[in-house]
Structure 1
Amino acid sequence: MLLDNAREPLRSTSRPEALNRRRHAKLSRAPQIAPVSVVLSLYSLSLFIFHQLGYLATTTLAAACGTAIFLVAGFYAAFRLTLHTRFTDPTMTSPQIIAVVLLMLVVAYLERATQPALVPFILIAFSFGMFRQSTRMLILHAAGCLLCYLGIILVRGQKEQYGAAFEADLLQWFVLSLSLPGMILLGKQVQNLRQLLSATRYQLEHYEEKSVRDDLTGLYNRRHIKSELEQARLQANAENVPFCLCVIDIDRFKEINDNNGHLAGDTILKEFSKVASNSIRDSDMLGRYGGDEFLLLLKNTDLKGAVMHAERLRVYAHFLDFQKVLTQKHISLSIGVAQYRPGEKIEDLMSRADSALYQAKQLGRNRVEWLES
């Protein structure tokens, strides 16, 4: 079998890829603080309108808006400093909902005139949570919100001798107590739909992956490898980057099947496929073209590099031990290599690589031959 250090090391992450990851991390913070920022922005706007109409004191408006800004800045700092990773829910949806609801309840307690805005904005806050939280957590939040709101109503009602305003407050609380369960049920339906979509997407990805794989070896099949060759051709023409194609054939495979049986042949195909897959870079692609013939696409590689890689693969295959299934113990490979010529068709490239393979067989097999680009 192969030594671990014989495998070609993978390329390190490039600087553009690292920059893209950092840029993605910055952009991902915006959706995470969206619940608190959107709800508080709209709520602050409604408070400003109440103030302009004379229903809200300037000091209360200033305190509420200042608290809203502080909350948004605090959550942004938590994401910026990666403090959110310490929570079970990295999106910190629960703390955001709790902070927003508590602020609105305090303002409603201080200024009864703002209560018409309380129910819709609490529902808006919960609407963000229903996409990210479990039904159990939403129920806990709803129960806490209703209890706090009821406590505010009872405390204020006691001070005001339970007058008509108290009855109006209870009516609004009753409306909220009916609305929140409806919101939770809607959230449950949304979560079920998302789970169904996720399962469907997983199945589609599974079937798509299976459709491009060879059943026996697990390598890419003929149709997919030809599609990748066409993509490499387009990239080479557009960006002037080289790539090479290796046509690999297991020597005297028909004789192996005749002398040892098809099960032995299948074992050889699977073991070789595994070793060959482990010897290539992530950017390269190996596929089974048919029978005992394989295609190896080497991207960003010139002819010299491709020949070296093919020779290394030939040596790897020779050291595979098939004593349990073969009489001769080892196998050998014949490999033909060709570099893509700008403007040519994939069929022409494959024909040249196949000609190089034929030349390798004519010269005695167990060798690598190539055609100059």
Structure 2
Amino acid sequence: MDSLIERVVALQDATPVLIALYDTEDRLRHANRAFREAFHLAEDAFPTWLDIIRTNYQNREGLIITTSDFEAWVLSAQSRRGKLPFRGLELDMHDGRWIWMTETVQTDGWMLCVGSDITALRQNQRSLRQDRDIAMRAAQTDELTGTANRRFVFAKLAAQIEHVNNGIECPFGVCIIDIDLFKAINDRFGHQAGDAVLRDFVKIAHATIRRSDCFGRVGGEEFMLIMPRTSLDECVGIVERVLKKVSESHPFAADPEFTYSCSAGISLYRPGEASNDLYHRADRALYLAKQNGRARVEWLVE
């Protein structure tokens, strides 16, 4: 068996195909030579995906990231990364290559990435595919905050329910999170300030949740968080960490004393339950959180 593993490792380093393995925290745990060369990683480096992308962007190497707002680009990418059992995407590289990268996600959240060089595709076909990808991202992204939109998170919710009902995954939790007194923020500071609060909250949420969690804006100041393979206690812990970091945030440089809070409601999926029923139970739990003083999380499991 050891000799077989050694042969597999040797072949991985010999192939031009990019191979990488990420854990549930989106930290690189294994990568072959081709992947490390493409993204300019030392042999003993095991950074997070975000660290890889940030370094590539700053040094203008590895992946080409065309954006005037890197943080917004990251939020948009994180809202889709690792959220499906399998997906493919195209990457433009600074070395002139065009890579077709696939993501295969296990039920425990570990992810295998495999990239193939498809530079030989005709340029006109490449442009058409890039235009298609741009349009697809726009259709899945909330324009204001850069996170996933209502369409994407509800599609993920339906897929998650199907996986559980088919025995592919364990039950999961859904949380509805609402920014407290958001209308008062708009009335006092103006809509631009309200937009800044929304973007601040999205940034905090994405920095706190797991890669396997799906987070998006479902309307106004309301957001949904889907937490696969997660017990009630784990769901509460994740959401409480988000709410705590929100309470410590000061999004207005001109008014450093300003803070805001969020309320949240959690429900766990019941086998056979419709997505709307699951959502409405979480929404009722959110209502309880508002009734009980805001800036807290409540849950309904019955």
| Smaller-chain TM-score bracket | 0.5 to 0.7
Task: Identify the match of residue 213 of structure 1 among 141, 151, 157.
Answer: 141
The count of aligned residue pairs is 201
Q: Which residue of 1 aligns with 2:162?
A: 234
Q: Which residue of 2 aligns with 1:79?
A: none
Identity score, percent: 39
Q: Which residue of 1 aligns with 2:130?
A: 202
Counterparts of 1:235 and 1:227 in 2: how far apart (Å)?
12
Q: Which residue of 2 aligns with 1:324?
A: 253
The code of the aligned residue for 2:136 comes to E
Q: In structure 2, do the counterparts of structure 1 residues 30 and 360 end up closer, same or farther at CA, with 3 Å as the change threshold?
A: closer
Task: Identify the match of residue 351 of structure 1 among 280, 286, 289.
Answer: 280
Q: In structure 2, do the counterparts of structure 1 residues 306 and 194 end up closer, same or farther at CA, with 3 Å as the change threshold?
A: same
Shift of 1:324: 3.2
Counterparts of 1:325 and 1:264 in 2: how far apart (Å)?
11
Alpha carbons 2:250, 2:257 under 8 Å: kept = no
Shift of 1:200: 1.5
Gaps of 5+ in 1: 1-18, 32-81, 87-190
SS state of the match for residue 336, structure 1? strand
Counterparts of 1:271 and 1:258 in 2: how far apart (Å)?
18
Provide runs of 4+ in structure 1 moved above 3 Å. Answer: 28-31, 323-328
Alpha carbons 2:200, 2:251 under 8 Å: kept = no
Matches within 5 A, 1:1-373: 194-239=122-167, 240-324=169-253, 329-373=258-302
Shift of 1:304: 1.3
Shift of 1:322: 2.8
Greater Rg by CA? 1
| Backbone CA RMSD of aligned residues | 3.3
Alpha carbons 2:173, 2:230 under 8 Å: kept = yes
Counterparts of 1:262 and 1:274 in 2: how far apart (Å)?
18
Q: 1:290-335 deviations in whole A, cap 9, x for unaligned?
A: 1100001111112111011111110010011134365861101100
The code of the aligned residue for 1:194 comes to R
Q: 1:174-205 deviations in whole A, cap 9, x for unaligned?
A: xxxxxxxxxxxxxxxxx886122122212211
SS state of the match for residue 226, structure 1? helix
The code of the aligned residue for 2:215 comes to L
Q: 1:126-172 deviations in whole A, cap 9, x for unaligned?
A: xxxxxxxxxxxxxxxxxxxxxxxxxxxxxxxxxxxxxxxxxxxxxxx
Select the structure that is richer in helix: 1
The code of the aligned residue for 2:164 comes to A
Structure 1 length-normalised TM: 0.49
Gaps of 5+ in 2: 18-32, 38-118
